[in-house]
Amino acid sequence: MKRTDKKPKVTVYLAGDSTVADCPPHEAPMAGWGQMLPLFFSDEAGVVNMAKGGASSNSFIDEGGLDDITERLAPGDYVLIQFGHNDQKPYGTDPYTTYQEHLVRYVEAVREKQATPVLITSAERRRFDQNGKPADTLGDFPKAMKALADSFDVPLIDLWSKTKALYESLGIEGSKRLFVHFQPHEHPHYPNGIEDNTHFSEAGARQVARLVTEGIRELGLPLSAYLLCERSDFRAGV
């Protein structure tokens, strides 16, 4: 959570997986977008990142993550919810049945506390097709979340589409800097090298967090009042 002497007027809680979560120091410069989100808010808003690496929409509930959030919620708070990557795994969920059922549990639990749930489609992986266009790797999960948001009148940020557009604008080579790519012996935390096209670098996490705040503004949520003016050094390509 952002450190400040002021008591925040509103708190934003994050529920999600490793693409959202705070990464430990030994994994730096890998970072989740939730790790960078506080940079975009004034001191009147607190950000509490409860996302967990490896979490699916189901496991986050089973491991007490949703309860941990709802126990802290106050009326007027927000919960940003992004799951999908780990729901794809063989032990995961089905997009149009169990996945949607789990999302409903988040929505209802947050609303019961007079807080606002915001659904966020998962950030896309960095994969390009033979035509040099960003590939779809998340199956029906983004579509299923959009359908659920429509049915239950839940604000939704289409981060899946926003990240695909970002990758396309930067191109195959330019988009690499958004992710964790090192040659062997190039970085002490990754002596054997790494080519990770799912998890963000700190620079990439800032860009994706910027897209999330862009979505907050586009939705016209009252939370927008606590966003700082956009900084040019947080824009893509820097």
Residues noted as catalytic: 18, 195, 199
Centre a 10 Å sphere on the Cβ of residue 195 and count the other Cβ atoms it contains.
12
Greatest C-alpha distance within the chain: 52
Specify whether the CB–CB gap between 63 and 52 falls below 8 A.
Answer: yes
How many alpha carbons lie under 13 Å from residue 148 in its C-beta half-sphere?
A: 28
Please tell me the distance from the alpha carbon of residue 189 to that of residue 180, in angstroms, as a whole number: 11
Distances (CA, A) of 215 to 121, 140, 172, 208: 11, 21, 25, 11
Whole-angstrom distance, CA of residue 14 vs CA of residue 223: 14
Q: φ, ψ for residue 161 (rounded to 5)?
A: -70, -40
